[in-house]
Amino acid sequence: MLTLKNKLVHLSNLPTMPVLLIEAIQQIDNEQNLTALVDKIVQDPSIAIRILRIANSPFYGMFREIGSLREAIVLLGLNRIRDLLLSICFSNVLSTQHKDFDHRQLWHHSMAVAECTRQLAGYTGNSPEFAFTAGLLHDIGRLVIFLLFPDEFIRIFNEPASPLIETEQRILGFDHGEIGGKAGQHWNLPVAIQEAIEQHETPPVPGSLKSLGLLVYVANLLIHKIEQSDESALEKDESIHSALDILNISLNQAVYCANSGQQFADQMLVLC
């Protein structure tokens, strides 16, 4: 079984993230640098076109067609453009093709959790930009396991009856949240995002704060329930209710955020 020490050695074999993705993550809440980042997007027609396609999608419901990236910035805002850039760059990270790795399903789930987390943040005073990024990257550990430990990944994939976290712990000695957090450290992601990735499967305990990790935890649970067409079970899920109580968010508000997340992911999957 792999130990923590062995795991950290393997992280040196991870590929580097796309430069634009890293820059977009590191410039959260820094509008001056974000403007410079947009200037770089303008120089990449393929990314600019994809952003325009998304901005003109029914999800945003614009009253007229957006014809340029500059116009999209004015109507959607710098931070929303950054979110779209993150989504597109992240789709490139998940471009791995393998019969045992459904990258499109993981990307769709990540998009849905990202948008759901962003909207939940609006009720709590957390940064929507940090929330979107943490939600987007919360399952990055699953990709890390696939890249670094392919044989173990296949064993985990072939044991669907057991809870994923338990199976990973038994086979690897750690789970995708833990390895994802360490990968975030390896890539020099903001500490709050590293922690949210590591904590996204951890239920809250009495006295828990309104942390970024708790937001992602709730968003992940909500999206999983909706993906399973099990929205009615939300009423009975004590884990979700406990977390929402801490966040002071109603179930109706949470379900609205989750449905918006699903709609955003559906649009992204079609347009990207």
CATH number at residue 162: 1.10.3210.10
Number of domain units in the chain = 1
Contacts of 82 (CB under 8 A, 6+ apart): 24, 27, 28, 34, 37, 129
| Residues 41-77: tens digit of each pLDDT | 777 888 888 888 888 888 888 888 888 888 888 888 8
Q: How far is CA 42 from CA 38, 45, 80, 91, 223, in A?
A: 6, 6, 16, 19, 33
Print the domain residue range for 161.
Answer: 4-271
- The confidence score (pLDDT) of residue 23 equals 77
For residues 152 and 145, what is the distance between their CA atoms, to the nearest angstrom? 8
238, 113 Cβ separation under 8 angstroms: no
| Residues 113-147: tens digit of each pLDDT | 999 999 999 999 889 999 999 999 999 999 899 88
Average pLDDT, the chain: 85
